[in-house]
Structure formats: C-alpha cells, structure tokens
C-alpha cells in the first residue's frame, strides 16, 4: 500500500470538497474551514467526513471530529490514522 503524504491527501480531498460544496474552483489549504469555504454547513460537514473516511479507509471517533477546526487538522488526523 502506498504511503499517504500531505500532498496526496489534499489531492484526494480536493474533488470531495468540490463536489459536496458545489464549488469547482475552491483551493483547499491547511487553513480552509467552514468559516471560509462556501456552502460548508453542518449537513455538508457530515457528508465530507463520511466521504473522507471512505476514501482514505479511516474511521474517526466523535472526540476526534469535535477537535477538527481546519482542513489542516483533518489532514493531520488522516495521516495519524493511516499509520496505525
């Protein structure tokens, strides 16, 4: 299995965010969040988290999800989970 990197995670998440947020021109960065991305509401958040878990074959618990504030936090969590 190929090791995940921050860049490969961003590349994998880009189409997920574009599709769910219906925003084909968004540029994800570590500081991207629901506060600065269009259409990222609570329903979109649930769909993003579910799709990301399926895409990267990881599972997040409720405490981990509550700590996420930015896309960078999500990338770090995926990296952490992928090495276990």
Task: Find the mean pLDDT for residues 45-73.
Answer: 97
What's the CA gap between 34 and 37, in Å, rounded? Answer: 5
- Domains in the chain (CATH in brackets) are 6-82 (1.10.1200.10)
CB 52 within 8 A of CB 74: yes
> In sequence order, what E strands does the chain have?
none
User: pLDDT tens for residues 18-38?
Assistant: 999 999 999 999 999 999 999
Q: Is the pLDDT score of 2 beyond 80?
A: no
pTM above 0.75, yes or no: yes
* The token pair that represents 61 in the structure block: 């618990």
User: pLDDT tens for residues 37-50?
Assistant: 999 999 999 999 99
User: Residue 12's pLDDT band (boundaries 50, 70, 90)?
Assistant: very high
Look at the block and give the residue holding tokens 């896309």.
71
């Amino acid at each position: 299995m190929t090791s995940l990197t921050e860049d490969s995670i961003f590349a994998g998440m880009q189409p997920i965010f574009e599709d769910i947020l219906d925003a084909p021109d968004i540029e994800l960065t570590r500081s991207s969040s629901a506060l600065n991305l269009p259409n990222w509401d609570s329903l979109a958040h649930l769909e993003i988290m579910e799709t990301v878990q399926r895409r990267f074959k990881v599972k997040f618990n409720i405490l981990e999800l509550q700590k996420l504030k930015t896309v960078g936090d999500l990338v770090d969590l995926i990296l952490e989970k992928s090495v276990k």
